[in-house]
Chain A
Amino acid sequence: MFELRLVQGSLLKKVLEAIKDLVNDANFDCSATGFSLQAMDPSHVALVALLLRPDGFEHYRCDRNISMGMNLNNMSKILKCGGNDDIITIRADDGSDTVTFMFESPNGSANFEMNLMDIDSEHHGIDESKCCAVVRMPSSEFQRICKVLSSIGDTVVISVTNEGVQFSTRGDIGTANIVCRQNINVDKPEESTVIEMSQPVSSQFPLRYMNSFTKATPLSNTVTISLTSELLLAVEYTIAEMGYIRFYLAPKIED
């Protein structure tokens, strides 16, 4: 049997809002490591990795590893049936082809059963060692930059140098360049912009995906943007005390 109980149920709602437009169907893997997911978008341009660790739940029981295939739009619909302050319990019996969501509030409870799906998926090894630039900044600022740039162009060039991180785009009406410099706020670390770089790096990415990733903004005050030497982009939002949601995005490359 698998069962988890999340007191702050709104957190799971925010997770679903962050990924449901990027990925249609995905396997949620339940193991001693936690409640996790790895899935690509249908075009295989982006990959999302989610981990919610067992100690973040009020109760977490996983007798054996199971993989629950879910349509994320349907899961989101069910989560919206619960109130924002509800406690959420998710339960699946071994061998069952359904999963049960229970919502509890001081006023009562509600149960929803959702059909599971068989989804073919592969797990991917993620090599963090090739990282050559890391930028941590306020997530709201990153969201604003992606939104502003997508009103001008379709693609953003992200360049990290000793000067800071530059986001640039070009469109029919002209060009846009936004530079964020390192800025460490000791009193409010969540408002800091911190840049760590082993070598300058620059690459371009579709803004449509970047804007999709920023739907995770309500999960965290800060976002960490990493670029590897192979120009793979990783955008990570930590989920307080529990884990993370990471988005990986493949670059646009010269023909």
Chain B
Amino acid sequence: GTRIIYDRKFLLERRSSPVAK
């Protein structure tokens, strides 16, 4: 199946946003 890959920048951007945009 597909892998769920996130880079560091993406993960850090989610840090202060509890709800996805």
Note whether A and B form a binding pair.
no
